[in-house]
Structure 1
Protein backbone atom coordinates (compact mmCIF):
# COMPACT_ATOMS: atom_id res chain seq x y z
CA UNK A 1 0.00 0.00 0.00
CA UNK A 2 2.93 2.34 0.67
CA UNK A 3 3.91 2.25 -3.02
CA UNK A 4 0.37 3.21 -4.02
CA UNK A 5 0.42 6.16 -1.61
CA UNK A 6 3.81 7.28 -2.96
CA UNK A 7 2.54 6.98 -6.54
CA UNK A 8 -0.47 9.14 -5.65
CA UNK A 9 1.82 11.74 -4.06
CA UNK A 10 4.18 11.84 -7.06
CA UNK A 11 1.35 12.01 -9.61
CA UNK A 12 -0.38 14.77 -7.64
CA UNK A 13 2.88 16.71 -7.55
CA UNK A 14 3.00 16.50 -11.35
CA UNK A 15 -0.46 18.08 -11.69
CA UNK A 16 0.41 20.80 -9.20
CA UNK A 17 3.59 21.52 -11.18
CA UNK A 18 1.51 21.89 -14.36
CA UNK A 19 -0.62 24.48 -12.58
CA UNK A 20 2.57 26.41 -11.79
CA UNK A 21 3.54 26.22 -15.49
CA UNK A 22 0.49 28.30 -16.37
CA UNK A 23 1.23 30.79 -13.58
CA UNK A 24 4.83 31.38 -14.69
CA UNK A 25 4.24 31.17 -18.47
CA UNK A 26 6.34 28.06 -18.94
CA UNK A 27 6.72 26.64 -22.45
CA UNK A 28 5.06 23.32 -21.73
CA UNK A 29 6.57 21.48 -24.69
CA UNK A 30 10.15 22.40 -23.79
CA UNK A 31 9.56 21.58 -20.11
CA UNK A 32 8.00 18.21 -20.99
CA UNK A 33 10.99 17.20 -23.14
CA UNK A 34 13.48 18.22 -20.42
CA UNK A 35 11.29 16.33 -17.97
CA UNK A 36 11.70 13.12 -19.97
CA UNK A 37 15.49 13.55 -19.97
CA UNK A 38 15.52 14.06 -16.19
CA UNK A 39 13.13 11.14 -15.63
CA UNK A 40 15.46 8.92 -17.67
CA UNK A 41 18.49 10.06 -15.65
CA UNK A 42 16.56 9.41 -12.41
CA UNK A 43 15.95 5.83 -13.50
CA UNK A 44 19.59 5.30 -14.41
CA UNK A 45 20.68 6.63 -11.02
CA UNK A 46 18.17 4.40 -9.21
CA UNK A 47 19.33 1.29 -11.09
CA UNK A 48 21.82 -0.54 -8.88
CA UNK A 49 23.13 -2.98 -11.51
CA UNK A 50 25.83 -2.17 -14.10
CA UNK A 51 24.27 -0.53 -17.16
CA UNK A 52 24.80 -2.69 -20.23
CA UNK A 53 23.18 -1.19 -23.32
CA UNK A 54 23.56 -4.42 -25.30
CA UNK A 55 21.76 -6.40 -22.59
CA UNK A 56 19.03 -3.76 -22.41
CA UNK A 57 18.36 -3.97 -26.15
CA UNK A 58 18.06 -7.75 -25.82
CA UNK A 59 15.58 -7.54 -22.94
CA UNK A 60 12.10 -8.88 -23.67
CA UNK A 61 10.57 -5.54 -22.70
CA UNK A 62 12.86 -3.36 -24.84
CA UNK A 63 10.66 -2.93 -27.92
CA UNK A 64 7.68 -2.27 -25.70
CA UNK A 65 9.50 0.70 -24.16
CA UNK A 66 10.05 2.17 -27.64
CA UNK A 67 6.32 2.00 -28.31
CA UNK A 68 5.48 3.46 -24.89
CA UNK A 69 7.95 6.33 -25.32
CA UNK A 70 6.31 7.15 -28.64
CA UNK A 71 2.81 7.01 -27.09
CA UNK A 72 3.93 9.26 -24.20
CA UNK A 73 4.85 12.01 -26.67
CA UNK A 74 1.73 11.48 -28.79
CA UNK A 75 -0.64 11.65 -25.81
CA UNK A 76 1.04 14.85 -24.61
CA UNK A 77 0.51 16.47 -28.00
CA UNK A 78 -3.08 15.22 -28.26
CA UNK A 79 -3.79 16.69 -24.81
CA UNK A 80 -2.37 20.04 -25.94
CA UNK A 81 -4.54 20.00 -29.08
CA UNK A 82 -7.61 18.91 -27.09
CA UNK A 83 -7.09 21.79 -24.66
CA UNK A 84 -6.80 24.28 -27.53
CA UNK A 85 -9.78 23.02 -29.53
CA UNK A 86 -12.15 21.72 -26.83
CA UNK A 87 -11.00 23.31 -23.57
CA UNK A 88 -9.08 22.17 -20.50
CA UNK A 89 -12.08 20.43 -18.89
CA UNK A 90 -12.54 18.16 -21.90
CA UNK A 91 -8.83 17.23 -21.85
CA UNK A 92 -9.00 16.53 -18.11
CA UNK A 93 -12.08 14.32 -18.42
CA UNK A 94 -10.64 12.40 -21.40
CA UNK A 95 -7.32 11.69 -19.66
CA UNK A 96 -8.83 10.68 -16.32
CA UNK A 97 -11.69 8.59 -17.76
CA UNK A 98 -9.05 6.50 -19.54
CA UNK A 99 -8.69 4.58 -16.26
CA UNK A 100 -11.65 2.51 -17.50
CA UNK A 101 -9.41 0.76 -20.06
CA UNK A 102 -6.84 -0.83 -17.67
CA UNK A 103 -9.63 -1.62 -15.21
CA UNK A 104 -11.62 -3.55 -17.84
CA UNK A 105 -8.38 -5.18 -19.08
CA UNK A 106 -7.50 -6.41 -15.59
CA UNK A 107 -10.96 -7.86 -15.03
CA UNK A 108 -11.16 -9.63 -18.41
CA UNK A 109 -7.56 -10.76 -18.96
CA UNK A 110 -6.46 -11.46 -15.38
CA UNK A 111 -9.87 -12.52 -14.04
CA UNK A 112 -9.68 -9.98 -11.25
CA UNK A 113 -12.48 -9.81 -8.68
CA UNK A 114 -15.75 -8.17 -9.69
CA UNK A 115 -17.78 -8.09 -6.49
CA UNK A 116 -20.80 -5.82 -6.13
CA UNK A 117 -18.92 -3.27 -4.00
CA UNK A 118 -16.12 -3.05 -6.55
CA UNK A 119 -18.43 -2.63 -9.55
CA UNK A 120 -20.41 0.07 -7.74
CA UNK A 121 -17.14 1.76 -6.75
CA UNK A 122 -15.87 1.74 -10.35
CA UNK A 123 -19.10 3.24 -11.71
CA UNK A 124 -19.15 5.92 -9.01
CA UNK A 125 -15.46 6.65 -9.69
CA UNK A 126 -16.11 7.35 -13.39
CA UNK A 127 -19.01 9.65 -12.55
CA UNK A 128 -16.86 11.38 -9.92
CA UNK A 129 -14.02 11.93 -12.40
CA UNK A 130 -16.41 13.61 -14.84
CA UNK A 131 -18.11 15.83 -12.27
CA UNK A 132 -14.90 16.86 -10.48
CA UNK A 133 -13.04 17.64 -13.72
CA UNK A 134 -15.76 19.80 -15.29
CA UNK A 135 -14.98 23.37 -14.27
CA UNK A 136 -17.58 25.03 -16.53
CA UNK A 137 -21.26 25.68 -15.85
CA UNK A 138 -22.45 23.65 -18.84
CA UNK A 139 -21.55 20.10 -19.79
CA UNK A 140 -19.18 18.94 -22.49
CA UNK A 141 -19.90 20.38 -25.93
CA UNK A 142 -17.54 19.11 -28.62
CA UNK A 143 -17.72 19.82 -32.33
CA UNK A 144 -17.81 16.65 -34.42
CA UNK A 145 -14.62 17.57 -36.28
CA UNK A 146 -12.76 17.90 -32.96
CA UNK A 147 -14.08 14.72 -31.35
CA UNK A 148 -11.08 12.69 -32.49
CA UNK A 149 -8.63 14.50 -30.19
CA UNK A 150 -10.20 13.74 -26.77
CA UNK A 151 -10.88 10.22 -28.04
CA UNK A 152 -7.17 9.79 -28.79
CA UNK A 153 -6.27 11.16 -25.33
CA UNK A 154 -8.69 8.65 -23.78
CA UNK A 155 -7.31 5.72 -25.77
CA UNK A 156 -3.65 6.79 -25.38
CA UNK A 157 -3.87 7.18 -21.61
CA UNK A 158 -5.61 3.84 -21.30
CA UNK A 159 -3.06 2.10 -23.51
CA UNK A 160 -0.17 3.45 -21.43
CA UNK A 161 -1.58 2.16 -18.13
CA UNK A 162 -2.67 -1.15 -19.64
CA UNK A 163 0.73 -1.68 -21.27
CA UNK A 164 2.55 -0.95 -18.02
CA UNK A 165 0.45 -3.60 -16.27
CA UNK A 166 0.92 -6.14 -19.06
CA UNK A 167 4.69 -5.68 -19.32
CA UNK A 168 5.18 -5.54 -15.55
CA UNK A 169 3.33 -8.84 -15.20
CA UNK A 170 4.93 -10.71 -18.08
CA UNK A 171 8.37 -9.29 -18.84
CA UNK A 172 9.88 -6.94 -16.25
CA UNK A 173 11.88 -8.42 -13.37
CA UNK A 174 11.66 -6.59 -10.04
CA UNK A 175 15.25 -5.38 -10.17
CA UNK A 176 14.72 -4.09 -13.75
CA UNK A 177 11.90 -1.65 -12.87
CA UNK A 178 14.22 1.41 -12.68
CA UNK A 179 15.97 0.70 -16.01
CA UNK A 180 12.66 -0.27 -17.63
CA UNK A 181 11.15 3.07 -16.60
CA UNK A 182 14.30 4.96 -17.62
CA UNK A 183 14.23 3.36 -21.07
CA UNK A 184 10.63 4.44 -21.66
CA UNK A 185 11.50 8.01 -20.76
CA UNK A 186 14.66 7.92 -22.87
CA UNK A 187 12.70 7.15 -26.05
CA UNK A 188 10.14 9.82 -25.19
CA UNK A 189 13.04 12.25 -24.70
CA UNK A 190 14.68 11.28 -28.02
CA UNK A 191 11.44 11.86 -29.92
CA UNK A 192 10.96 15.15 -28.11
CA UNK A 193 14.49 16.28 -28.96
CA UNK A 194 13.78 15.55 -32.63
CA UNK A 195 10.77 17.86 -32.32
CA UNK A 196 12.95 20.64 -30.92
CA UNK A 197 15.55 20.03 -33.64
CA UNK A 198 12.86 20.42 -36.29
CA UNK A 199 11.78 23.72 -34.73
CA UNK A 200 15.41 24.83 -34.66
CA UNK A 201 15.76 24.21 -38.41
CA UNK A 202 12.69 26.40 -38.99
CA UNK A 203 14.04 29.14 -36.74
CA UNK A 204 11.12 28.94 -34.31
CA UNK A 205 12.99 27.47 -31.34
CA UNK A 206 13.70 29.74 -28.36
CA UNK A 207 15.25 28.03 -25.35
CA UNK A 208 14.53 29.64 -22.00
CA UNK A 209 16.29 28.73 -18.73
CA UNK A 210 13.02 28.77 -16.78
CA UNK A 211 11.62 26.07 -19.08
CA UNK A 212 14.63 23.87 -18.32
CA UNK A 213 14.23 24.41 -14.56
CA UNK A 214 10.53 23.62 -14.85
CA UNK A 215 11.36 20.40 -16.71
CA UNK A 216 13.77 19.35 -13.97
CA UNK A 217 11.12 19.98 -11.30
CA UNK A 218 8.68 17.85 -13.30
CA UNK A 219 11.04 15.04 -14.30
CA UNK A 220 11.90 13.62 -10.88
CA UNK A 221 8.29 13.14 -9.63
CA UNK A 222 7.34 11.91 -13.11
CA UNK A 223 9.87 9.09 -12.89
CA UNK A 224 8.75 8.11 -9.40
CA UNK A 225 5.07 8.23 -10.34
CA UNK A 226 5.73 5.43 -12.86
CA UNK A 227 8.20 3.57 -10.63
CA UNK A 228 5.88 3.51 -7.62
CA UNK A 229 2.85 2.65 -9.76
CA UNK A 230 4.64 -0.39 -11.18
CA UNK A 231 5.69 -1.43 -7.67
CA UNK A 232 2.08 -1.02 -6.47
CA UNK A 233 0.89 -3.21 -9.35
CA UNK A 234 3.24 -5.93 -8.11
CA UNK A 235 1.31 -6.27 -4.85
CA UNK A 236 -0.31 -9.71 -5.08
CA UNK A 237 -2.95 -8.77 -2.49
CA UNK A 238 -4.44 -5.93 -4.56
CA UNK A 239 -5.92 -6.27 -8.06
CA UNK A 240 -4.56 -3.93 -10.72
CA UNK A 241 -8.09 -2.61 -11.35
CA UNK A 242 -8.26 -1.58 -7.68
CA UNK A 243 -4.82 0.06 -7.87
CA UNK A 244 -5.74 2.08 -10.98
CA UNK A 245 -9.08 3.26 -9.59
CA UNK A 246 -7.70 4.30 -6.19
CA UNK A 247 -4.63 5.92 -7.76
CA UNK A 248 -6.59 7.86 -10.39
CA UNK A 249 -9.35 9.09 -8.09
CA UNK A 250 -7.01 9.91 -5.20
CA UNK A 251 -4.75 11.96 -7.50
CA UNK A 252 -7.81 13.86 -8.69
CA UNK A 253 -8.83 14.58 -5.09
CA UNK A 254 -5.37 15.70 -3.96
CA UNK A 255 -4.83 17.95 -6.98
CA UNK A 256 -8.31 19.45 -6.59
CA UNK A 257 -7.76 20.32 -2.93
CA UNK A 258 -4.30 21.66 -3.77
CA UNK A 259 -5.96 23.92 -6.34
CA UNK A 260 -8.32 25.24 -3.66
CA UNK A 261 -5.63 25.75 -1.01
CA UNK A 262 -2.72 27.07 -3.06
CA UNK A 263 -4.26 28.49 -6.24
CA UNK A 264 -7.54 29.82 -4.81
CA UNK A 265 -9.58 27.87 -7.34
CA UNK A 266 -13.36 28.04 -7.02
CA UNK A 267 -15.44 24.90 -7.41
CA UNK A 268 -18.98 24.55 -8.73
CA UNK A 269 -21.62 22.54 -6.90
CA UNK A 270 -21.17 19.62 -9.29
CA UNK A 271 -17.42 19.63 -8.49
CA UNK A 272 -18.16 19.26 -4.78
CA UNK A 273 -20.64 16.46 -5.55
CA UNK A 274 -17.88 14.85 -7.62
CA UNK A 275 -15.49 15.07 -4.67
CA UNK A 276 -18.00 13.34 -2.37
CA UNK A 277 -18.55 10.64 -4.99
CA UNK A 278 -14.78 10.23 -5.42
CA UNK A 279 -14.34 9.59 -1.69
CA UNK A 280 -17.25 7.12 -1.77
CA UNK A 281 -15.73 5.27 -4.74
CA UNK A 282 -12.38 4.87 -2.97
CA UNK A 283 -14.15 3.48 0.11
CA UNK A 284 -16.24 1.05 -1.97
CA UNK A 285 -13.24 -0.20 -3.97
CA UNK A 286 -11.00 -0.42 -0.88
CA UNK A 287 -13.52 -2.42 1.15
CA UNK A 288 -14.01 -4.78 -1.80
CA UNK A 289 -10.41 -6.01 -1.44
Structure 2
Protein backbone atom coordinates (compact mmCIF):
# COMPACT_ATOMS: atom_id res chain seq x y z
CA UNK A 1 0.00 0.00 0.00
CA UNK A 2 2.90 2.36 0.74
CA UNK A 3 4.37 1.82 -2.74
CA UNK A 4 0.99 2.55 -4.36
CA UNK A 5 0.57 5.71 -2.26
CA UNK A 6 4.06 6.90 -3.23
CA UNK A 7 3.36 6.19 -6.91
CA UNK A 8 0.18 8.29 -6.68
CA UNK A 9 2.07 11.06 -4.86
CA UNK A 10 4.88 11.06 -7.44
CA UNK A 11 2.47 11.17 -10.39
CA UNK A 12 0.54 14.00 -8.73
CA UNK A 13 3.79 15.93 -8.35
CA UNK A 14 4.24 15.61 -12.12
CA UNK A 15 0.91 17.43 -12.51
CA UNK A 16 2.06 20.19 -10.15
CA UNK A 17 5.37 20.65 -11.98
CA UNK A 18 3.61 20.84 -15.36
CA UNK A 19 1.37 23.55 -13.90
CA UNK A 20 4.47 25.47 -12.83
CA UNK A 21 5.94 25.11 -16.34
CA UNK A 22 3.33 27.53 -17.67
CA UNK A 23 3.75 29.90 -14.71
CA UNK A 24 7.53 30.22 -15.22
CA UNK A 25 7.27 30.03 -19.04
CA UNK A 26 9.41 26.91 -19.30
CA UNK A 27 9.68 25.42 -22.78
CA UNK A 28 7.75 22.17 -22.41
CA UNK A 29 9.73 20.14 -24.96
CA UNK A 30 13.08 21.25 -23.53
CA UNK A 31 11.90 20.56 -19.99
CA UNK A 32 10.68 17.10 -21.01
CA UNK A 33 14.04 16.22 -22.58
CA UNK A 34 16.01 17.27 -19.49
CA UNK A 35 13.42 15.44 -17.41
CA UNK A 36 14.40 12.21 -19.16
CA UNK A 37 18.07 12.86 -18.44
CA UNK A 38 17.28 13.44 -14.75
CA UNK A 39 15.11 10.32 -14.53
CA UNK A 40 17.86 8.27 -16.20
CA UNK A 41 20.43 9.51 -13.69
CA UNK A 42 18.03 8.64 -10.84
CA UNK A 43 17.80 5.08 -12.15
CA UNK A 44 21.59 4.75 -12.25
CA UNK A 45 22.04 6.27 -8.77
CA UNK A 46 19.40 4.04 -7.15
CA UNK A 47 20.63 0.82 -8.78
CA UNK A 48 21.79 -1.22 -5.79
CA UNK A 49 23.81 -3.96 -7.43
CA UNK A 50 26.67 -3.18 -9.79
CA UNK A 51 25.76 -3.29 -13.48
CA UNK A 52 28.24 -3.22 -16.33
CA UNK A 53 26.75 -0.82 -18.88
CA UNK A 54 28.20 -2.87 -21.74
CA UNK A 55 26.11 -5.82 -20.57
CA UNK A 56 22.78 -3.99 -20.49
CA UNK A 57 21.95 -4.82 -24.17
CA UNK A 58 22.15 -8.52 -23.22
CA UNK A 59 19.26 -8.24 -20.73
CA UNK A 60 16.04 -9.84 -21.94
CA UNK A 61 14.08 -6.68 -21.21
CA UNK A 62 16.45 -4.37 -23.15
CA UNK A 63 14.57 -4.31 -26.51
CA UNK A 64 11.29 -3.65 -24.68
CA UNK A 65 12.91 -0.80 -22.74
CA UNK A 66 14.02 0.84 -26.00
CA UNK A 67 10.50 0.52 -27.44
CA UNK A 68 9.02 1.99 -24.26
CA UNK A 69 11.49 4.87 -24.39
CA UNK A 70 10.43 5.67 -27.93
CA UNK A 71 6.77 5.37 -26.92
CA UNK A 72 7.22 7.74 -23.97
CA UNK A 73 8.36 10.68 -26.06
CA UNK A 74 6.08 9.80 -29.00
CA UNK A 75 3.00 9.83 -26.76
CA UNK A 76 4.17 13.10 -25.24
CA UNK A 77 4.32 14.71 -28.68
CA UNK A 78 0.92 13.27 -29.56
CA UNK A 79 -0.43 14.78 -26.34
CA UNK A 80 0.99 18.16 -27.35
CA UNK A 81 -0.65 17.95 -30.79
CA UNK A 82 -3.96 16.84 -29.27
CA UNK A 83 -3.88 19.72 -26.78
CA UNK A 84 -3.29 22.23 -29.58
CA UNK A 85 -6.05 20.83 -31.79
CA UNK A 86 -8.71 19.70 -29.33
CA UNK A 87 -7.86 21.10 -25.88
CA UNK A 88 -6.42 19.93 -22.57
CA UNK A 89 -9.59 18.14 -21.43
CA UNK A 90 -9.44 15.79 -24.42
CA UNK A 91 -5.84 14.87 -23.57
CA UNK A 92 -6.68 14.34 -19.92
CA UNK A 93 -9.59 12.03 -20.73
CA UNK A 94 -7.66 10.06 -23.37
CA UNK A 95 -4.67 9.58 -21.05
CA UNK A 96 -6.58 8.55 -17.94
CA UNK A 97 -9.24 6.46 -19.71
CA UNK A 98 -6.40 4.41 -21.19
CA UNK A 99 -6.32 2.61 -17.84
CA UNK A 100 -8.97 0.36 -19.41
CA UNK A 101 -6.25 -1.31 -21.52
CA UNK A 102 -4.01 -2.61 -18.68
CA UNK A 103 -7.14 -3.50 -16.69
CA UNK A 104 -8.43 -5.70 -19.53
CA UNK A 105 -4.95 -7.17 -20.01
CA UNK A 106 -4.74 -8.16 -16.34
CA UNK A 107 -8.21 -9.68 -16.36
CA UNK A 108 -7.61 -11.70 -19.56
CA UNK A 109 -3.89 -12.58 -19.52
CA UNK A 110 -3.49 -13.14 -15.77
CA UNK A 111 -7.07 -14.33 -15.22
CA UNK A 112 -7.51 -11.88 -12.35
CA UNK A 113 -10.60 -11.99 -10.16
CA UNK A 114 -13.62 -9.92 -11.17
CA UNK A 115 -16.25 -9.74 -8.44
CA UNK A 116 -19.31 -7.50 -8.35
CA UNK A 117 -17.66 -4.85 -6.16
CA UNK A 118 -14.61 -4.70 -8.40
CA UNK A 119 -16.66 -4.41 -11.61
CA UNK A 120 -18.73 -1.62 -10.05
CA UNK A 121 -15.58 0.09 -8.77
CA UNK A 122 -13.86 0.00 -12.18
CA UNK A 123 -16.94 1.33 -13.99
CA UNK A 124 -17.34 4.14 -11.45
CA UNK A 125 -13.62 4.92 -11.74
CA UNK A 126 -13.86 5.37 -15.52
CA UNK A 127 -16.92 7.61 -15.12
CA UNK A 128 -15.09 9.55 -12.38
CA UNK A 129 -12.05 10.10 -14.60
CA UNK A 130 -14.25 11.46 -17.38
CA UNK A 131 -16.31 13.77 -15.17
CA UNK A 132 -13.27 15.09 -13.28
CA UNK A 133 -11.35 15.83 -16.48
CA UNK A 134 -13.99 17.81 -18.36
CA UNK A 135 -13.62 21.47 -17.45
CA UNK A 136 -16.19 22.91 -19.88
CA UNK A 137 -19.97 22.90 -19.64
CA UNK A 138 -20.37 21.63 -23.20
CA UNK A 139 -18.19 18.55 -22.65
CA UNK A 140 -15.77 17.28 -25.27
CA UNK A 141 -15.93 18.47 -28.86
CA UNK A 142 -13.51 17.00 -31.40
CA UNK A 143 -13.36 17.72 -35.11
CA UNK A 144 -13.55 14.56 -37.20
CA UNK A 145 -10.17 15.37 -38.79
CA UNK A 146 -8.53 15.49 -35.34
CA UNK A 147 -10.14 12.37 -33.89
CA UNK A 148 -7.11 10.16 -34.63
CA UNK A 149 -4.86 12.03 -32.17
CA UNK A 150 -6.73 11.33 -28.91
CA UNK A 151 -7.17 7.73 -30.07
CA UNK A 152 -3.40 7.41 -30.49
CA UNK A 153 -2.83 9.02 -27.07
CA UNK A 154 -5.33 6.56 -25.56
CA UNK A 155 -3.68 3.54 -27.20
CA UNK A 156 -0.12 4.72 -26.54
CA UNK A 157 -0.72 5.45 -22.85
CA UNK A 158 -2.51 2.14 -22.36
CA UNK A 159 0.20 0.16 -24.16
CA UNK A 160 2.89 1.77 -21.98
CA UNK A 161 1.17 0.75 -18.74
CA UNK A 162 0.36 -2.72 -20.06
CA UNK A 163 3.93 -3.32 -21.23
CA UNK A 164 5.33 -2.23 -17.86
CA UNK A 165 3.02 -4.71 -16.13
CA UNK A 166 3.99 -7.52 -18.52
CA UNK A 167 7.73 -6.88 -18.21
CA UNK A 168 7.50 -6.56 -14.43
CA UNK A 169 5.96 -10.00 -14.21
CA UNK A 170 8.01 -11.81 -16.84
CA UNK A 171 11.49 -10.30 -17.24
CA UNK A 172 12.60 -7.77 -14.63
CA UNK A 173 14.45 -8.93 -11.53
CA UNK A 174 13.76 -7.08 -8.27
CA UNK A 175 17.17 -5.39 -8.24
CA UNK A 176 16.99 -4.38 -11.90
CA UNK A 177 14.00 -2.02 -11.68
CA UNK A 178 16.17 1.16 -11.43
CA UNK A 179 18.44 0.29 -14.37
CA UNK A 180 15.43 -0.85 -16.41
CA UNK A 181 13.80 2.54 -15.80
CA UNK A 182 17.08 4.32 -16.56
CA UNK A 183 17.30 2.55 -19.92
CA UNK A 184 13.78 3.63 -20.86
CA UNK A 185 14.53 7.25 -20.01
CA UNK A 186 17.91 7.12 -21.75
CA UNK A 187 16.17 6.11 -24.97
CA UNK A 188 13.57 8.88 -24.57
CA UNK A 189 16.34 11.38 -23.83
CA UNK A 190 18.35 10.32 -26.89
CA UNK A 191 15.34 10.87 -29.15
CA UNK A 192 14.61 14.16 -27.40
CA UNK A 193 18.13 15.47 -27.91
CA UNK A 194 17.92 14.47 -31.58
CA UNK A 195 14.85 16.70 -31.87
CA UNK A 196 16.66 19.56 -30.11
CA UNK A 197 19.68 19.10 -32.38
CA UNK A 198 17.40 19.35 -35.40
CA UNK A 199 15.91 22.55 -33.97
CA UNK A 200 19.43 23.94 -33.41
CA UNK A 201 20.40 23.20 -37.01
CA UNK A 202 17.34 25.12 -38.18
CA UNK A 203 18.17 27.97 -35.81
CA UNK A 204 15.05 27.43 -33.66
CA UNK A 205 16.77 26.30 -30.46
CA UNK A 206 17.48 28.73 -27.63
CA UNK A 207 19.09 27.41 -24.47
CA UNK A 208 17.62 28.64 -21.18
CA UNK A 209 18.84 27.36 -17.84
CA UNK A 210 15.34 27.51 -16.38
CA UNK A 211 14.36 24.72 -18.79
CA UNK A 212 17.07 22.54 -17.25
CA UNK A 213 15.78 23.30 -13.75
CA UNK A 214 12.24 22.53 -14.88
CA UNK A 215 13.42 19.22 -16.33
CA UNK A 216 15.15 18.29 -13.06
CA UNK A 217 12.02 19.16 -11.06
CA UNK A 218 9.95 16.99 -13.40
CA UNK A 219 12.42 14.13 -13.77
CA UNK A 220 12.64 13.17 -10.09
CA UNK A 221 8.91 12.49 -9.53
CA UNK A 222 8.70 11.02 -13.04
CA UNK A 223 11.31 8.39 -12.16
CA UNK A 224 9.67 7.52 -8.84
CA UNK A 225 6.19 7.32 -10.39
CA UNK A 226 7.36 4.36 -12.49
CA UNK A 227 9.59 2.88 -9.78
CA UNK A 228 6.84 2.82 -7.15
CA UNK A 229 4.22 1.68 -9.67
CA UNK A 230 6.31 -1.42 -10.39
CA UNK A 231 6.77 -1.95 -6.65
CA UNK A 232 3.00 -1.64 -6.14
CA UNK A 233 2.35 -4.19 -8.88
CA UNK A 234 4.74 -6.57 -7.10
CA UNK A 235 3.38 -5.99 -3.61
CA UNK A 236 0.44 -8.36 -4.06
CA UNK A 237 -1.91 -6.18 -2.03
CA UNK A 238 -4.10 -5.78 -5.14
CA UNK A 239 -3.96 -7.43 -8.54
CA UNK A 240 -2.84 -5.30 -11.49
CA UNK A 241 -6.36 -4.23 -12.54
CA UNK A 242 -6.95 -2.92 -9.01
CA UNK A 243 -3.56 -1.19 -8.83
CA UNK A 244 -3.98 0.60 -12.17
CA UNK A 245 -7.56 1.66 -11.39
CA UNK A 246 -6.76 3.02 -7.92
CA UNK A 247 -3.55 4.65 -9.18
CA UNK A 248 -5.21 6.53 -12.04
CA UNK A 249 -8.39 7.58 -10.31
CA UNK A 250 -6.51 8.75 -7.19
CA UNK A 251 -4.14 10.83 -9.35
CA UNK A 252 -7.08 12.50 -11.07
CA UNK A 253 -8.86 13.11 -7.75
CA UNK A 254 -5.85 14.53 -5.89
CA UNK A 255 -4.69 16.58 -8.89
CA UNK A 256 -8.14 18.11 -9.14
CA UNK A 257 -8.13 19.03 -5.45
CA UNK A 258 -4.62 20.52 -5.74
CA UNK A 259 -5.83 22.57 -8.69
CA UNK A 260 -8.54 24.04 -6.48
CA UNK A 261 -6.36 24.69 -3.43
CA UNK A 262 -3.17 25.99 -5.02
CA UNK A 263 -4.02 27.08 -8.58
CA UNK A 264 -7.46 28.58 -7.90
CA UNK A 265 -9.15 26.37 -10.49
CA UNK A 266 -12.93 26.53 -10.67
CA UNK A 267 -14.78 23.22 -10.81
CA UNK A 268 -18.11 22.49 -12.43
CA UNK A 269 -20.77 20.48 -10.63
CA UNK A 270 -19.90 17.40 -12.72
CA UNK A 271 -16.26 17.69 -11.61
CA UNK A 272 -17.38 17.39 -7.99
CA UNK A 273 -19.52 14.39 -8.91
CA UNK A 274 -16.40 12.89 -10.47
CA UNK A 275 -14.44 13.36 -7.24
CA UNK A 276 -17.20 11.70 -5.19
CA UNK A 277 -17.35 8.77 -7.62
CA UNK A 278 -13.55 8.50 -7.49
CA UNK A 279 -13.63 8.09 -3.72
CA UNK A 280 -16.47 5.58 -3.97
CA UNK A 281 -14.67 3.53 -6.65
CA UNK A 282 -11.53 3.28 -4.50
CA UNK A 283 -13.62 2.16 -1.51
CA UNK A 284 -15.35 -0.54 -3.58
CA UNK A 285 -12.14 -1.90 -5.14
CA UNK A 286 -10.21 -1.96 -1.87
CA UNK A 287 -13.10 -3.45 0.10
CA UNK A 288 -13.06 -6.55 -2.12
CA UNK A 289 -9.61 -7.36 -0.75
CA UNK A 290 -10.57 -6.78 2.89
Deviation readout 1:78-131 (Å, 9 max, x if unpaired): 000000000000010000000000000000000011000000100000000000
1:148 deviation in Å? 0.5
Residue of structure 1 in register with 2:241 after alignment: 241
State how 1:1-289 maps to structure 2 within 5 Å.
1-289=1-289
Alpha-carbon distance between aligned partners in 1 of 2:88 and 2:221, rounded to the nearest angstrom: 22
1:207 deviation in Å? 1.2
Alpha-carbon distance between aligned partners in 2 of 1:69 and 1:2, rounded to the nearest angstrom: 27
Alpha-carbon distance between aligned partners in 2 of 1:142 and 1:244, rounded to the nearest angstrom: 27
1:234 deviation in Å? 0.5
TM-score between both structures, scaled by the size of structure 2: 0.99
Deviation readout 1:23-77 (Å, 9 max, x if unpaired): 1111100000000000000000000222312221100000000000000010000
- Aligned partner of residue 235 in structure 2, secondary structure: coil
Alpha-carbon distance between aligned partners in 1 of 2:236 and 2:58, rounded to the nearest angstrom: 28
Alpha-carbon distance between aligned partners in 1 of 2:4 and 2:231, rounded to the nearest angstrom: 8
User: Which portions of structure 1, spanning 4 or more consecutive aligned residues, are displaced by more than 3 angstroms?
Assistant: none
Structure 1: 5+ residue stretches without partners: none
Deviation readout 1:135-178 (Å, 9 max, x if unpaired): 01111111111001000100000000000000000000000001
- The Cα RMSD (Å) is 0.7
Deviation readout 1:193-216 (Å, 9 max, x if unpaired): 000001011000011111110000
Structure 2: 5+ residue stretches without partners: none
Alpha-carbon distance between aligned partners in 2 of 1:280 and 1:255, rounded to the nearest angstrom: 17
Alpha-carbon distance between aligned partners in 2 of 1:80 and 1:237, rounded to the nearest angstrom: 35
1:235 deviation in Å? 1.6
- Aligned partner of residue 36 in structure 1, secondary structure: helix
Alpha-carbon distance between aligned partners in 2 of 1:207 and 1:254, rounded to the nearest angstrom: 34
TM-score between both structures, scaled by the size of structure 1: 0.99
